[in-house]
Structure 1
Amino acid sequence: MIENILNQMTLEEQVSLLAGADFWTTVPVERLGIPKIKVTDGPNGARGAGSLVAGVKATCFPVAIALGATWNPELVKRMGVSLAGQAKSKGASVLLAPTVNIHRSGLNGRNFECYSEDPLLTASLAVAYIQGVQSGGVAATIKHFAGNESEIERQTMSSDIDERSLREIYLLPFEQAVKKAGVMAVMSSYNRLNGTYTSEHPWLLTDVLRKEWGFDGIVMSDWFGSHSTADTVNAGLDLEMPGPSRDRGEKLVKAVHDGEVKAETVRDAARRILTLLERVGALETAPDLAESSLDLPEDRALIRQIGAEGAVLLKNEGILPLARTSLDSIAVVGPNAGVARVMGGGSAQIAAHYTVSPLQGIRAALSDANSVHHAAGCSNNRLVEVFAGDIEVEYFTGRALEGTPVHTERADKGEFFWFDLPSPDLDPANFSARITGKFVPSDSGEHIFGMTNAGLAKLSIDGKLVVNGYDGWTRGDNYFGTANSEQRQGLELEAGRSYTLTIDYCSPADTADGIHLTAIRFGVEKALGDAAIDEAVARAADCDVALVFVGREGQWDSEGLDLPDMRLPGRQEELIEKVAAVNANTVVVLQTGGPVEMPWLDKVQAVLQIWYTGQELGNAVADVLFGDAEPGGRLPQTFPKSLSDNSAITGNPLVYPGQDGHVRYDEGVFVGYRHHDSHGVEPLFPFGFGLGYTQFSWGEAKASSTVLGEDGITVTVDVTNTGARKGADVVQLYVRPLASAVLRPEKELRAFAKLELAAGETATATLTVTLRDLSFFDVAAKAFRSEAGNYELLIAANAADIRSRIAIVNPAEWLGHVTDPLSEGHSHRSEPGHAQ
């Protein structure tokens, strides 16, 4: 069928398939019955074609690091199945997820959007996610291929990574997604890899992805992430996004006629696009692109379950779980207590059906909501609190706010991200808008107004210019680097008085290469000072227990920028210490997209890391705090004692954050726990760590053999729940080479199993080790090499808690070719001393 269609297509029609029609859809060829299909952002929901901050409501699932903390591929697969239904509700056939870049520095703005520092854990969860999504007839898109471990200058930065590290750490999740899950789409990253943009990297896209791994799906660019015509097509980039095309269309037709691109290369790419349409059923039935809101009770329950399974109990001096009957009063304080921080920022954002804050969840879990006393204490937002209230928006043609508005609409939030403008008469490159609203402060005193804009804007109060985002505008760190840094100005306001806010906005005149967006965000807040901390401390002093909800929010953990450090922003550390000084029963609940330093750790009774757990946040955290659910998570990323303990933070800017357009991965394969183990750097909390509410007893690990053969070795461990309640434990298997011709990590995760056991129940964890699990990548041989010799299998509860050791022998050297399937692999063995 596909070959027949291709035979009927003109060169121009084939070329038309190789770029988007607009931001979210592909180009149809109506003459031949080829429909357009829609793609939608994930990975913690399906947003559809709406803006990042509006649009049709969608189900908001936990972020990827929370999934990583579950160590539960089957649970992640169930989420993938649900996401396929969510994508279809938005008329989408392709979900732009999962994100599988590696937790390298601890500061990556998209750390929350990735699973783990470990490639095996990442790969296992990604495979499950993809299988779930694609079982529902929706294509998954694994991203970002490859080397996108930082947001700093990500559109131009070259990630300089040696091939061994690439193969062992950064490419493994992609390899498994292709070979095990049959992923249908891959998205290239913005950055360069060893000097070449990944969107035009023949070695990456053709030699490795297609020829070695056998990938037969499509490769698409990240949005505005392609930079050429012939180079991208020849390298293997099938789809330029978004549309309309900038580098293809007539330019590509001309490149074929000029001999820069072969006609067969275009035909091959068009074939892959048509194959994708066939796989998602679009060639049989043209998809309905209409969007609807799908809010299912089973999705709500699943989100709540994932939230608990991914919650990591880092410390507990016996205070958790809280006993409802013995508590007369609870202080719920902190900047993340009364606000539902349910997701990170950037392209992962969606308009959730609803959100439940921790304060709401705790009050709902108690029979007497009056026993809960709340105070924010301090703030932690990076940007001024967004304006909320009735807003009128008038749109004009041209950039001068002249003439009669071509469209007028109402809104309730001071943030606009215009993927699509509300009238066909408006040109994204040549329009303006006047935004008007009323603000009535509840308290007198200085209020801070803030605004950031992709485009030019001025904010006035009662006709007086207050924030100037027009004169001297320069690109900053908002909206993926297309907006200026937030401009702020203080103003004394009177309580109860109505003030008129007016924002005059015009679209960007900047036509430089890169991402082109039109967006604005403005807000106002009364700064919290000493009085707010004093109020929170007073509330805590009078209560039986103090729950302090701290962390970050989606303006810190966000695409487009990295974190400045690993400390809690604002005065949160001060708040924790002052609350702990007046209440001996202080519990800290953390919401971050990655590790934080904890200088206050010894002063509190318990620490619970809950990440960003989606729309059921408050209910999930209440389930864990009151013991209705087990905190089932284990850390997917090492928490260092200090930022300087991280392998990428060496003091050399070339290693991080980058210098002169290059960031050099000098640590090689020694990322995360591999670095801490091998260099003797004690972490604050090790990789794989997590406490629970029950106790487990492990039997001695047993191996099917001590000699590794073609079929591998199977290790079994009996685990018994010796406590009084149901719980879950994770058995982790690491491989340790006793000698090697190359420098290798002390140990590496090679298998894991999560067991959920009732009180008194015993179950067996079964773990398999293969020849490739013993290997390192031999660059000269272009193969994974398992040296003959002695190894240890380490059975552990986490990277620092080894429970059993099994000595094994690999009797003969083995080479695993890059083309081998992962499930069994062809063996290429030689006797010791006869290297092949």
Structure 2
Amino acid sequence: MIDDILDRMTLEEQVSLLSGADFWTTVPVERLGVPKIKVTDGPNGARGAGSLVAGVNAACFPVAIALGATWNPQLVERMGVAIAGQAKSKGASVLLAPTVNIHRSGLNGRNFECYSEDPMLTAELAVAYIQGVQSQGIAATIKHFAGNESEIERQTMSSDIDERTLREIYLLPFERAVKKAGVMAVMSSYNRLNGIYTSEHPWLLTTVLREEWGFDGIVMSDWFGSHTTAATVNAGLDLEMPGPARDRGEKLVRAVRNGEVKPEAVRMAARRILTLLERVGAFEKAPDLSEHALDLPEDRALIRQLGAEGAVLLKNDGILPLQKAGLGHVAVIGPNAAEARVMGGGSAQIAAHYRISPLDGIREALSNANSIQYAAGCRNNRLVNVFSGEMRVEYFTGRNWSGSPIAVETADVGEFFWFDLPSAELDPSDFSARMTAFYVPAESGEHIFGMTNAGLAKLYVDGRLVVNGFDGWTRGDNYFGTANVEQRQSIHLVAGQRYEVVVEYCALGSTGEGINLTAVRFGVEKPLGDADMAEAVETARAADVALLFVGRDGQWDTEGLDLPNMRLPGRQEELIEKVAAVNANTVVVLQTGGPIEMPWLGRVKAVLQMWYPGQELGHAVADVLFGDVEPGGRLPQTFPKQLSDNSAMTGDETVYPGRDGHVRYAEGVFVGYRHHDTRGVEPLFPFGFGLGYTRFSWSNAKASAVQMGSEGLTVSVDITNIGDRRGSELVQLYVRPLAPTVERPDKELRAFAKVQLAPGETGTASLVLGPRDLSYFDEKTKAFRASAGRYELLAAANAADIRSNVTIELAKEWIGEASDRAI
């Protein structure tokens, strides 16, 4: 059928398939029965075609680092199945997920969107996610291919990575997704790889991806991430997104007729697009692109289970789990207590069905006689709290708010990110909007108004210009680098008085600087000060236990900018110190998208890392704190004692954050625990670390053979739950070459198994290894290579806790082939 369609297509029609129709859909060819399909952002939900901050509600699942902390591929596969259902509810056939870039620096703004610092753990979870999604007839899109481990100058930065490091660390998850999961789509990254944009990188897209790995799906650009016509097509980029065409269309037709692109290259790319449509069933039944909310009880239950499964108990001096019956006064404190920080920022955002805050979850769990008192203590938001309340939004043609509005609508949140405008008469590059609302402060005093805008905007309070985002506007660090730095101004407001707030916004039009977006966000808040800190301390002093919820939110952990450091923002460290000084039973619950420094660690009784676990946050937190379920998580990323202990933080700006458009991955394969173990840098918490509520005994590891053969071998460890609660234990298997012929990490994760056991129950962790698990990538022979000799297999609870080992031998050197599918 596909050959018949291609034979009947004109060159122009084939070319039309190679660009999007708009932001989210492909181009149909109606005369030949080729339908359009829709794609939707992931990876922790399916947003549909709505804006980043609005649209049809969707189920909000845990972010990727929280999934990495589960070390549970079976559960992640179930999530993939559920998210495929969410994608269908948004009329989408393609999900833009998973993200498998590696945790390199600890400061990447999208660290939360990625699974782990380890490529093997990343690969196993990505394969499970993809298999779940694609089992439901939805195509998964693995991203970002490749070398996108920072948000700094991400649209132009060259990630300079040697081939061994690429093959062993950064490409492995993509390789396994192709060979093991049969992923249907790959998204190229924004950055350059060794000087060449990945969207036009022949070695990456054709030599490695298609010829070596055998990938037969489509490669699409990240949004606005392609830059040329002939170079992208010739390199193997099939789909330019979003549409309408920028560098394809008539430009590509001319390139074919001028001999810059062979007609066969266009036909092959069009074939791959048509094959994708066939694989997702679009020819059998044209997709219904309409959207609706899908709020299923089984999704709610799965999100709650995943939240607890990924919760990592980092410290516990016997205080957890809390006994509900014995609790009297409970202090719930901190900026993340009453706010439900359920997801990170950027393109991963969705309009969640609901958000359960920790305070809500604890109140529900302690609904009997327990006394709960709340105090925020301080704030941790990067941007001023967004405006909340009913407002009138008027849209005008042109940029001067003149004439009658073309469209009028209402909104209840002061953030607008326009992919689509409410009327076809409005030109996205030449329109204006006026938002009118009223604000009634609860308290008198200084209030801060803040605004950031991709475009030009002014904010007025009772007719007075308060925030000027118009004059002197320049690009800054918001909305993927398309909006200015947030402009702030404080004014005195009187409690109970009604103030008119008006924001006038106009589009900037194309600037020729990469991505151009239209967005505005404005807010108001009364700053918290010493009195609020003192209130929190007094609340803690009077309580039997102080539950302190701190961390970051999606304004910090977000696409478009890296973190400034690895410390808790604002006055949160001071809050922890002061609360712990007056209450010996202080439990810190963290929500961050990656590691943080903990100078206060020795002063608190327990630390629980919850990440951003989705809409059931409060329920999952309460489940773990009160022992209804086990904290099942183990760290997917090393927590260093200080930022300078990270392998990328050498003090050389060419290594991080980059200089003159290049960032050197000078640490090579020594990323995360590979660096800490090999270089003798003691971490705060090692890779794979996590505590539970029960105890286990381990048998010594046993190998099924003393020699590694081509068929591989199995290592088994018997685990017995010797405690009085049901719980899980994670067995990690590392490989250590005893006489390496090249510099290699001290040990590398090659397999893992999570065992769930009732009290007194014994189970067996079976871990399978093959010859490639002993190998490194040899740049001279361009192949994975394992030298003959002895290897130690280490059964470990985490990278710093080796429980037993067994030595095996590889009798003769093993050399893999690029096309070898036994990975």
Interval of TM-score (by shorter of Structure 1 and Structure 2)? over 0.9
Asked if 1 retains the 8 angstrom alpha-carbon contact of 2:66 and 2:610, the reply is yes
Asked if the contact 1:677/1:746 (under 8 Å) is kept, the reply is yes
Residue aligning to 2:776: 776
Deviation at residue 510 of structure 1 after TM alignment: 4.2
Amino acid at match of 1:125: L
Partners of 2:330 and 2:543 within 8 A in 1 = yes
The 2-side partners of 1:541 and 1:822 are apart by: 60
Cα distance in structure 2, aligned partners of 1:509 and 1:394: 19
Cross-structure match for 1:131:
131
1:475 Cα offset (Å): 0.3
Matches within 5 A, 1:319-358: 319-358=319-358
Following the alignment from structure 1 to structure 2, what is the Cα–Cα distance between the partners of residues 215 and 646? 34
1:437 aligns with 437
In the TM superposition, what are the counterparts of 1:357-506 in structure 2 within 5 Å? 357-368=357-368, 371-506=371-506
* AA partner of residue 757 (structure 1): L
- Which residue number corresponds to residue 763 of structure 1? 763
Separation of aligned partners in 1, 2:156 and 2:240: 17
Counting only pairs closer than 5 Å after superposition, residues 622-701 of structure 1 correspond to structure 2 as: 622-701=622-701
Residue 790 of structure 1, CA deviation:
1.2
1:143-182 alignment, distance < 5 Å: 143-182=143-182
The 2-side partners of 1:269 and 1:508 are apart by 35
Provide the C-alpha distance between the structure 2 equivalents of 1:113 and 1:592, rounded to a whole number of angstroms.
Answer: 12
Paired amino acid for 2:373:
H
Partner of 1:222: 222
The 5 A counterparts of 1:93-112 are 93-112=93-112
How far apart are 1:710 and its partner, in Å?
A: 1.2
Which residue identity is paired with 1:424?
A
8 Å contact 2:64–2:115 — kept in the other structure? yes
**Alignment partners' CA distance in 2, 1:37 and 1:431:** 29
**Aligned equivalent of 2:280:** 280
1:516 and 2:516 are equivalent in the alignment: yes
Cα distance in 2, alignment partners of residues 478 and 756 from structure 1: 43
Residue of structure 2 equivalent to 1:61: 61
- Asked if the contact 1:363/1:369 (under 8 Å) is kept, the reply is no
Q: Secondary structure at the match of 1:285?
A: coil
Distance in 1, matches of 2:620 and 2:249, equals 49
Q: Is the 8 A contact 2:328 2:370 kept in 1?
A: no
- Rounded to whole Å, the distance in 2 between the matches of 1:721 and 1:494 is 61
Cα contact 1:23–1:419 (8 A) shared by 2:
yes
* Equivalent residue number for residue 269 of structure 2: 269
Q: CA offsets, 1:383-436, max 9 Å, x none?
A: 000000011110000011111100000000000000000100000000000111
| 8 Å contact from structure 1 (residues 82, 299) kept in 2 | yes
Task: Find the counterpart in structure 2 of residue 47 from structure 1.
Answer: 47
Deviation (angstroms), 1:369: 6.7
CA distance in 2, matches of 1:562, 1:121: 24
Give the distance between the partners of 1:368 and 1:535, measured in 2 at CA: 25
Q: Distance in 1 between matches of 2:504 and 2:769?
A: 63
Q: How does 1:201-240 map to 2 (within 5 A)?
A: 201-240=201-240
- Quick one: distance in 2 between partners of 1:440 and 1:367? 32
In 2, the alpha carbon distance for the partners of 1:367 and 1:208 equals 58
Partner of 1:2: 2
Shift in Å, 1:513: 3.3
Paired letter, 1:796: A
SS in structure 2 of the partner of residue 347 of structure 1: helix
The one-letter amino acid of 2:68's match is G
Listed one character per residue, the Cα deviations across residues 152-171 of structure 1 (whole Å, up to 9, x for unaligned) are 00000000000000000000
Q: Which amino acid aligns with 1:610?
A: M
Contact residue 147 and residue 193 of structure 1 kept, 8 A = yes
Paired residue for 2:77?
77
Aligned-pair CA distance for 1:736: 0.3
Separation in 2, partners of 1:584, 1:83: 42
Cα separation, 1, equivalents of 2:499 and 2:742: 69
Indicate conservation of the 8 Å contact 1:40/1:95, yes or no. Answer: yes
SS at match of 1:677: helix
Distance 1:730 1:444, change over 3 A: same
Per-residue deviation, 1:370: 5.9
Shift of 1:201: 0.2
- TM-score, scaled relative to structure 2: 1.00
d(CA) in 2 for partners of 1:513, 1:545: 53
Aligned length: 823
Contact conserved, 2:221 with 2:239, CA < 8 A, in 1?
A: yes
Match of 1:309?
Answer: 309
- Letter of the 1:447 partner, please give it: H
Deviates more, 1:596-605 or 1:804-813: 804-813
1:828 maps to which residue?
none
Per the TM alignment, residue 713 of structure 1 is displaced from its structure 2 partner at its CA by: 1.7
Structure 2 residue matching 1:446: 3-state secondary structure: strand
Tell me the alpha carbon deviations over residues 357-401 of structure 1, each in whole angstroms, 9 at most, x when there is no partner: 000000000133761110000000000000000111100000111
Alpha-carbon distance in 2 for matches of 1:521, 1:86 = 27
The superposition leaves residues 718-744 of structure 1 with CA deviations (integer Å, 9 ceiling, x where unpaired) of 000000010001000000011122110
- Structure 1 counterpart SS, 2:708: coil
Conservation of the 8 A alpha-carbon contact between 2:58 and 2:86: yes
Provide the C-alpha distance between the structure 2 equivalents of 1:516 and 1:234, rounded to a whole number of angstroms: 26
8 Å Cα contact 2:330-2:370 kept in structure 1:
no
Counterpart in 2 of 1:577?
Answer: 577
- Confirm or deny that 1:594 pairs with 2:600: no
Q: Measure how far apart 1:512 and its partner are.
A: 1.2
Q: Distance in 1 between matches of 2:367 and 2:552?
A: 30
Contact 2:457/2:505 (8 A) holds in 1: yes
Structure 2 CA distance for aligned equivalents of residues 12 and 559 of structure 1? 36
- 1:748-775 CA-to-partner distances (Å, cap 9, x unmatched) read 0000000000111000000011100000
Mapped to 1, the partners of 2:511 and 2:320 lie a distance apart of: 56
- CA distance, structure 2, for counterparts of residue 731 and residue 285 of structure 1: 46
Structure 2 unaligned spans of 5+: none
- In the other structure, the counterpart of 2:531 is 531
Q: Which amino acid aligns with 1:817?
A: E
Paired with 1:200 and 1:711, the residues of 2 have a C-alpha distance of 38
Counterpart contact for 2:736–2:794, Cα < 8 Å:
yes
Please give the alpha-carbon distance, in whole angstroms, between the structure 2 residues aligned to 1:785 and 1:380.
49
CA distance in 2, matches of 1:440, 1:797: 55
Rounded to whole Å, the distance in 2 between the matches of 1:51 and 1:623 is 33
**Structure 1 portions without partners, runs of 5+:** 824-836
Answer yes or no: is the 8 Å Cα contact 1:176–1:822 preserved in 2.
no
Task: String of CA shifts for 1:763-812, please: whole Å, max 9, x gaps.
Answer: 00000111000000011111100000111001000000000111111110
Partner SS, residue 556 of structure 1:
coil
SS of residue in 2 equivalent to 1:817? coil
Q: 1:80 touches 1:130 (CA, 8 Å); kept in 2?
A: yes
**CA deviations over 1:689-709 (Å, ceiling 9, x no partner):** 000000000011111111111
The CA distance in 1 between the partners of 2:113 and 2:129, in whole Å, is 13
Tell me if structure 1 keeps the 8 A contact 2:429–2:510.
Answer: no
Using the alignment, how far apart are the partners of 1:191 and 1:57 within structure 2?
32
Q: Hey, what's the Cα distance between the residues in 2 that align with 1:603 and 1:517? A: 46
Query: SS at 1:99's partner residue?
Result: coil
Identical-pair percentage? 77
Tell me if the contact between 1:180 and 1:822 (Cα under 8 Å) persists in the aligned partners: no
CA distance in 2, matches of 1:370, 1:169: 50
CA contact (8 A) 2:224 2:241 kept: yes
Aligned to 1:736: 736
In 1, distance between residues paired with 2:547 and 2:359? 10
Hey, what's the Cα distance between the residues in 2 that align with 1:302 and 1:409?
Answer: 36
**Structure 1 consecutive aligned stretches of length 4 or more whose deviation exceeds 6 Å:** none
Partners of 1:166 and 1:580 lie apart in 2 by: 45
Distance 1:712 1:747 in 2: 19
